[in-house]
Chain A
Amino acid sequence: MPYDGPAGLAPRLGAARRRGADRGAPWSLKVAAWAVVAFLHVPLALIILYAFSAEDKSYVFPPPALTTQWFGVAWQRGDVWAAIRLSFEVAAWSTALALLLGTLAAAALARARFFGRDAISLLLILPIALPGIITGIALRSAYHTLEIPFSFWTIVIGHATFCVVVVYNNAVARLRRMNPNLVEASMDLGADAFQTVRYVVLPQLGSALLAGALLAFALSFDEVIVTTFTAGQQTTLPIWMLQELIRPRQRPVTNVVAVVIIALTFVPILLAYYLTRSDELRAA
């Protein structure tokens, strides 16, 4: 809530409020703001348009004709489905691991004060803060040195590592907002530590963990750099996309897959947004 200031100031501020601040934004600011938003979204809209383009040899604009045939063609492409399935499984496992590690870390760091606490939160954020290529190369040479062959799990290990911080942030924010007396009240009423976690802490954490999981899923589903280094010959959807970018095979199919990816990632993001939003409203 905005601080209203000492009593003497109030009448004069009220006058100022009536005088000028209520004008609303100057139209130039409004235009600038919405122009930037358009800048952000026009390219995405364009892809959706291209997915219906009948032209298959180039990226000519405007598209000569519109058709939905490419959706059918894409549906037939086995390599696309395989890539989607792999991305899905990797994201699912990475999210599960990130949930576990992130929640444990959040539980430890939310309220405790001990030596090294800041260092640990920095450590959790490092995989995302440092450029992906460094994490990627580091993992790859580690696998190489330890003679671990590339596999599904080599990808998951990399993904889980940078997804932890997403879950951690959401969990820590919620834990800090939670009334600490709730845990004490639960124990006072006879619940031991495990029962307290089950009946009081987890329900409180619930939507924050869900939001974190959704974001982690989206992050993993989209990741390409670390994946390139840890996947060997396997193809996740982003890797498939990258190959198409460098050496296009069937442009229209790429367009269709791009649209599908947009749709697939919009959903978890919107859900996560509504989950954390209602949380903030409740806390206010």
Chain B
Amino acid sequence: MTAAVTLDEVSCVFGHGASAVRAVDGVNLGIESGEFFTLLGPSGSGKTTCLRMIGGFTLPTAGRILIGGDDVTMRPPYARPVNTVFQDYALFPHMSIRDNVAYSLMVRKVAPAERARRADELLELVQLAGVGDRRPAQLSGGQRQRVALARALINQPQVLLLDEPLGALDLKLREQMQSELKALQRQLGITFLFITHDQHEALSMSDRIGVFNVGRLEQVGTPHEVYNAPRTRFVALFVGAANVLDGELARALTGHDSAMLRPERIRAGDAAGARTSGAVAEAQYFGSFTRIKVRAGDALLQADLPDGADRPAPAVGDTVHLHWDTRAVHALAGGHA
């Protein structure tokens, strides 16, 4: 089946000569049809630029972009079967909500009655029936976000681009929208391309994740793969807390030159059979677990110990003996990233 979106050696360079910024550097990516794919990375990592190139708002300086098998690299946004939900929603302030949602139909000269009908349908889909006559300024942030969604979906695009759409919402609303978006995507079957810098969001919503770092795609995989089998040091540290071990210590404790160990996979136990022991340098209580940092050689190992275990949580200064399963250790490629 043709991939929904293909990026082929795509680069985007701003500026010239010595001060040139390689915002996106030789990215290869294939997104399957019907997938919920997330571009994850810190600010400035290139994920937004990638999205903008797929949407047609920024033109790449090298490479090809294919949507549904069609080469759309140089095409303007209006010639691509892609729609976008912008970070600040970008609703047209001088139009009513209904006209906003029906905008793309109006531009294609669909009759007014038909436009209004379909716009109302979409508004119902995003649970905003009845606000059609109001203006964007009269709605709350969460409501505007749904309008932006409805506006982008009315065209039945092949791919829906979402540029950090939940960033401006408070926590409760954000979590609610996360599950709603996921349900919507499953219901509609449209390919969603989602951008976020929040790894929790990425892990919980995506079918697959692409992790960006300084313009390069460091890893593409399912949330499980990205979390438990990170390919590089950066991915290991960015997606969740991690103990990254190198050199002597790594070889001594794990047998690899470079390895990652998640804090929740470390347990405190008896001295017998312990992998390593040391003094507790820090201890923080988080309710469901206690986070301790233990000296091991010149490194600080972080362990998240579940509460309610049959022994009291270690305090600062105590000596603890740490255990972990061999399978919990993951070898990292390339040592220092």
Contacts and interface: CB of A to CB of B under 8 A. Distances in A.
A touches B (Cβ under 8 A): yes
B78 A191 contact: yes
Interface residues of A, number: 18
A192 B86 contact: no
Given A184-B86, A185-B84, A190 B107 contact: yes
Contacts of B88: 179, 181
Interface in B53-85: 55-57, 76-78, 82-84
Interface stretch (A57-65, A198-206, A259-267): A198-206
Contacts of A179: 88, 90
Contacts of B146: none
Given A195-B107, A199-B107, A188 B84 contact: yes
Contacts of A195: 107
B54 to A, nearest CB: 11
B311 interface: no
A193 B92 CA distance: 16
B103 A203 contact: no
B303 to A, nearest CB: 36
A192 to B, nearest CB: 5
Given A190-B108, A204-B94, A181 B77 contact: no
Interface string A154-195: 000000000000000000000000010110111111111101
Nearest to A181: B90
Contact of A184 (B90, B93, B151, B155): B90
A186 B81 CA distance: 14
Interface residues of B, number: 24
Interface in B145-202: 151-152, 155
B90 A190 contact: no
Nearest to B101: A189
Contact of A203 (B77, B90, B94): B94
Contacts of B319: none
Contacts of A188: 55-57, 77-78, 82-84, 152
B83 A189 contact: yes
Interface in A195-236: 195, 199-200, 203-204
A185 B56 contact: no
Contacts of A182: 90, 92
B94 A187 contact: no
A187 B84 CA distance: 10
A220 B107 CA distance: 39
Contacts of B92: 182, 185-186, 200
A199 B99 CA distance: 11
A111 to B, nearest CB: 14
A132 B313 CA distance: 85
B149 to A, nearest CB: 13
Most chain B beta-carbon neighbours within 10 Å: one of A182, A187, A189, A192: A189
A204 B90 CA distance: 13
Contacts of B107: 189-191, 195, 199
Given A182-B92, A199-B107, A200-B92, A187 B86 contact: no
Nearest to A204: B94
Interface in B28-58: 55-57
B56 A187 contact: yes
Nearest to B154: A189
A181 B86 contact: yes
Nearest to B94: A203
B276 interface: no
Given A181-B86, A184-B57, A184-B86, A192 B76 contact: yes
A121 B76 CA distance: 30
Contact of B78 (A192, A199, A200, A204): A192
A203 B92 CA distance: 10
Given A195-B107, A199-B107, A187 B90 contact: no
A186 B108 CA distance: 12
Given A190-B104, A190-B155, A203-B94, A185 B78 contact: no
Contacts of A191: 78, 103-104, 107
Nearest to A182: B90
Given A181-B90, A184-B77, A204-B94, A189 B57 contact: no
A190 to B, nearest CB: 5
Given A184-B77, A195-B107, A189 B155 contact: yes
Nearest to A187: B77
Contacts of A200: 92
Contacts of B83: 188-189
Contacts of B76: 187, 192-193
A190 B84 contact: no
Contacts of B77: 184, 187-188
Given A188-B55, A190-B78, 17 more contacts: A179-B88, A181-B86, A181-B88, A184-B55, A187-B57, A187-B76, A188-B57, A188-B77, A189-B107, A189-B151, A190-B104, A191-B78, A191-B104, A191-B107, A199-B103, A204-B93, A204-B94
In the A-B complex, list the 4 residue pairs whose CB atoms are closest, starting with the nearest. Answer: A181-B90, A189-B104, A185-B90, A187-B77
14 contacts: A179-B90, A181-B88, A185-B84, A185-B86, A186-B103, A187-B57, A188-B56, A188-B83, A189-B103, A189-B155, A190-B108, A191-B103, A199-B106, A203-B94
